[in-house]
A and B are shown apart, each in its own frame.
Chain A
């Protein structure tokens, strides 16, 4: 069953198109990841799905309800963990949960609150003020709170942003557990490759407001045509030139001093590649098993980090425009 369906969604801010003709559908029980640089339109898409922003045009349904005309039903069906914290830090963990339960009109809150705080291992701190919590604890509390009213769908906007690696791993375990044990459909946005890859059943790669690829992480990587050999050289132009004659390369891509060639059986052919380079000076050669970063690169010709710099500029301009 499709829990979320989006058709030709567009969101424009003045002259910036944040979401550009986006279509997708999410099945019940999936963990669906939006991967892309900051400013690519992930949060905007999520805001539309959670009824906080009106789309400029297009349609979206959540749990069968229209996000524009059936806001209240949509809101009851979803739990949202925003990118920035939304806790009342002057209240305790319990009180934050309790207020959430009341807002969603829940009658028997107490046991559910205890069970969820237990699940995220905060049960021994439930009467502590949230301002004494670490970043990871706050995130866990927000996830528990988002689940309190038993939504079928949980939105997680950059769930592990700014957390240390250990805490991130821990959170990933929770998210998987929620999905498997409670059957909650999860939609997350991230600009971390590893997060999208390890958590998601399917990934939508989004850039400049458009979905440029959508599939399982495995299938996306297979499209790349094998593993990659990365050659670092000051004369990357010459490297490309020498290698372009090789018949069995499935792809060749030069960017900031690197030349990436993709090929099947890369580990067996690495010697031949080096031989073909002849006397072109080379700093290093490495073999890389493909990641989603490579998928992004192959579609956009840039790495996510490159994209972030330009996206930040766009966001800055947008803020300026909004202030006027």
Chain B
């Protein structure tokens, strides 16, 4: 009971702050929107996806949803550095709650706000020509979206636990977020690419997230949804463990 209330408190703070920052919500919709509209429509008539009866816009929509969740969740996790800097982290660490519960609350909070961000992109994609999926399709997509959010918030928390200031943000964006996004098969199909690239896409955890959302939204995917679920689930557990381990080691 006490554990639940601690987890809920930290989750609640994250969600409360998310809704307060209207400009940030709108701001972070910018990039996914331009990707969808410009890249999607720009290449729509040039590119046909072999073996799938879908337009290019439809093909990349799940990838762009995954992208917005990836960025949003990673940043929620890394926000912990700011809590460290402004001192708020101390206030939570001196409270009679365990660090594991604080970490879980933070991860769930980040995943929830990232999911909301992803849902907004999903809605945008419906307006620009993606067909409305079935109810079960939407639920499958939401499940994968949440898993991506929870995994990468944990990754962000793991990074933040080792960081002293915000100087590392740019490094994470360029050397973690962009490679993870571009290698994920969000923008191109997984077959017909050189072997070395194919290898990298298959070890990128986001690939399985994108494929899962794609299955939910379009009903087709290149990786079987069960396999995607298993791979992403495994990654999630590993990252939750890593995040809690490093969070537990924070010294103040």
A: which residues have CB within 8 A of B?
Answer: 50-52, 71-73, 75-76, 80, 82, 84-91, 95, 99-100, 102-105, 145
User: Is B166 engaged at the interface, CB distance under 8 Å to the other chain?
Assistant: no
**In the complex, A73→B96 CA distance in Å?**
7
Among the interface residues B9, B88, B90, B96, which one has the most CB atoms of the partner chain A within 10 A? B96
- A82 with B90: in contact, given A90-B20, A103-B97 (CB under 8 Å)? yes
Residues on the A chain within 8 Å of B94, using CB:
50-52, 75, 80
B: which residues have CB within 8 A of A?
Answer: 2, 5-6, 8-9, 12-13, 16-17, 20, 83, 86-97, 252
Residues on the A chain within 8 Å of B252, using CB:
52
List the 3 closest A-B pairs by CB distance, nearest first. A86-B87, A75-B96, A102-B9
B86 near A103 with CB under 8 A, answer: no
Q: Please list 14 pairs of residues, one from A and one from B, whose beta carbons are closer than 8 Å in the complex, sorted by A's number.
A: A50-B94, A51-B94, A52-B93, A75-B96, A76-B96, A80-B94, A86-B90, A88-B17, A88-B83, A100-B95, A102-B5, A102-B8, A102-B12, A105-B6
Residues on the A chain within 8 Å of B86, using CB:
85-89
Residues on the A chain within 8 Å of B89, using CB:
86
A105 near B20 with CB under 8 A, answer: no
- A104 with B90: in contact, given A88-B13, A90-B20, A99-B9 (CB under 8 Å)? no
A87 near B88 with CB under 8 A, answer: yes
B interface, over-half SS: helix
**In the complex, A100→B5 CA distance in Å?**
12
**In the complex, A102→B16 CA distance in Å?**
14
A40 to chain B, nearest CB (A): 20
A91 near B5 with CB under 8 A, answer: no
Q: Kindly report which residue of chain B lies nearest to residue A85, judged by CB atoms.
A: B87
**In the complex, A279→B88 CA distance in Å?**
62
**In the complex, A224→B92 CA distance in Å?**
44
Residues on the B chain within 8 Å of A100, using CB:
91, 95
Residues on the B chain within 8 Å of A71, using CB:
96
**In the complex, A199→B129 CA distance in Å?**
71
**In the complex, A97→B58 CA distance in Å?**
47
Residues on the B chain within 8 Å of A99, using CB:
9, 12-13
Residues on the A chain within 8 Å of B87, using CB:
82, 84-87
A90 near B96 with CB under 8 A, answer: no
B16 near A91 with CB under 8 A, answer: yes
B96 near A104 with CB under 8 A, answer: yes
B17 near A86 with CB under 8 A, answer: no
**In the complex, A90→B14 CA distance in Å?**
11
Residues on the A chain within 8 Å of B88, using CB:
86-88
B17 near A90 with CB under 8 A, answer: yes
A107 to chain B, nearest CB (A): 10
Q: Kindly report which residue of chain A lies nearest to residue B102, judged by CB atoms.
A: A103
Q: Kindly report which residue of chain A lies nearest to residue B88, judged by CB atoms.
A: A88
Q: Kindly report which residue of chain A lies nearest to residue B8, judged by CB atoms.
A: A102
Q: Kindly report which residue of chain A lies nearest to residue B21, judged by CB atoms.
A: A90
B29 to chain A, nearest CB (A): 21
Residues on the A chain within 8 Å of B20, using CB:
90
